[in-house]
Amino acid sequence: MDLIFLQGMGKESTLNLRIPVWTNSQSAKVSLNGQSLKVPASGNFLSIKQNWKAGDQVTMELPLSIRTEAIKDDRPEYSSLQAILYGPYLLAGLTSRDWSITTHAKDGKWISSIPETHNSHLVTLSQQSGNISYVLSNNNQTITMEVSPAPGTQAAVAATFRLVTADSKGKVTGPEELIGSVVKIEPFDFPGMLVTQATDSSLAVQGSSSTDQEASSFRLVAGVDGKPGSVSLKLESKKGCFVYSDETLEAGMKLRLRCDSDASDDKFKQAASFRLRKEMSRYNPMSFVMSGTQRNFVLSPLFSLRDETYNVYFSVQT
């Protein structure tokens, strides 16, 4: 809520306060010297006329709410396109191809806020080859190794994952506190989808409802290479299965699960160990998850984005 304080002006006059269209007038509160005033509908003015004196105080509480605005286009084929706003802030969805959403989600909420605790579970995992740093990335719903990107880009979004703890572990100061925990791996911009083992032992991103829970549960362990700050991802359901990269790293290379490897093999230890890095993307405090017809979307205020791929109009199906 926003609080606005106005000091007295020393004479009789009318103070016109506009109740902005982006607030919910039924929840908005305005008071004069502690006495509540009737708030008009959003977009109208509240007029306060009195003999003002020093010390008079008007207080406004204007709650922010989710709303939609239709695109200004009379053509019928665009009638479903709407922008989504949180109070005065335009929200952008992290997506490049999909923009169809539904407002009748199963849980009754088509938009829900992202808890601040989610940021402490974010991570970027990397490996080094010579002078080149590579990162795990969600590449068209296949997990690959890509050259470490610049912050504020779509590639940085693709290189960020949230570790979802199976034991519902609460707030932590960083993902290193999750070492030893069973985790599921959620791509930053695909909420509700998980990294899972594909039929060819590669790693794919699938919807959580269609994902084999055993194939998407990993134990985050200290790196098998024994180096400080490194971690390994071990498939929980099968002994000796680790997420593994090829010894010769290159951009676009698929990550795979390798099982029953020789634990004393130095090449295996290096290929199955990753550097636990600070996340390349973070959720804005005003970020939300929006329910889509094919997938869910992360919504963030447009001003918080730089060069990420986003969309500000969605086809809203009610």
Q: Are 46 and 19 in contact (CB under 8 A)?
A: yes
114, two tokens:
């992202």
Mean pLDDT by 10 residues, the chain (318 residues): 52 88 91 93 93 86 90 89 94 87 67 92 94 95 95 96 77 87 95 91 86 86 92 90 87 88 78 94 96 90 96 86
Q: Using CB atoms within 10 A of its CB, is residue 99 exposed (0-12), middle (13-18) or buried (19+)?
A: middle
Looking at residue 7, its pLDDT comes to 55
- CA nearest neighbour of 65 among 45, 81, 46, 42: 42
Which tokens sit at 236? Answer: 């929980």
Q: What is the pLDDT of residue 24?
A: 87
pLDDT at 246: 81
Q: What DSSP line would sit under 175-204, residue for residue?
A: GGGGTTSEEEEEETTSTTEEEEE-TTSBEE
This prediction has a pTM of 0.86
Task: State the pairing for strand pair 230-235/29-32.
Answer: unpaired
CB atoms within 10 A of CB 4: 11
In sequence order, the 6+-apart residues with CB closer than 8 A to the CB of 72 are: none
CA within 13 Å, CB half, 59: 11
pLDDT at 189: 94
CB 150 within 8 A of CB 156: yes
CB atoms within 10 A of CB 259: 13
DSSP the chain: --EEEEE--SSEEEEEEE--TTB-TTT-EEEETTEEE----TTSEEEEEEE--TT-EEEEE--B-EEEEE-S---GGGTTEEEEEETTEEEEE--SS--EEES--TTS-SEEEPPGGGGGGEEEEEEEETTEEEEEEEETTEEEEEE---TTBHHHHHT-EEEEETT-----SSGGGGTTSEEEEEETTSTTEEEEE-TTSBEEEEETTTS-TGGG-EEEEE-TT--TTEEEEEETTSTTEEEE--SS--TTEEPEEEES--TT-HHHHHHT-EEEE--S----TT-EEE-BSSS-EEEEEGGG-SB---BS-EEEE-
pLDDT at 108: 60
Residue type, 189: D
Q: How many CB atoms lie within 10 A of CB 287?
A: 22
What whole-number distance in Å separates Cα of residue 249 and Cα of residue 222? 21
pLDDT at 264: 67
Cβ contacts of 211 within 8 Å, gap of 6 or more: 194, 196
Tokens of 78: 């665009």
Q: What is the largest CA-CA distance in the chain?
A: 87
- What pLDDT shows up at residue 238? 84
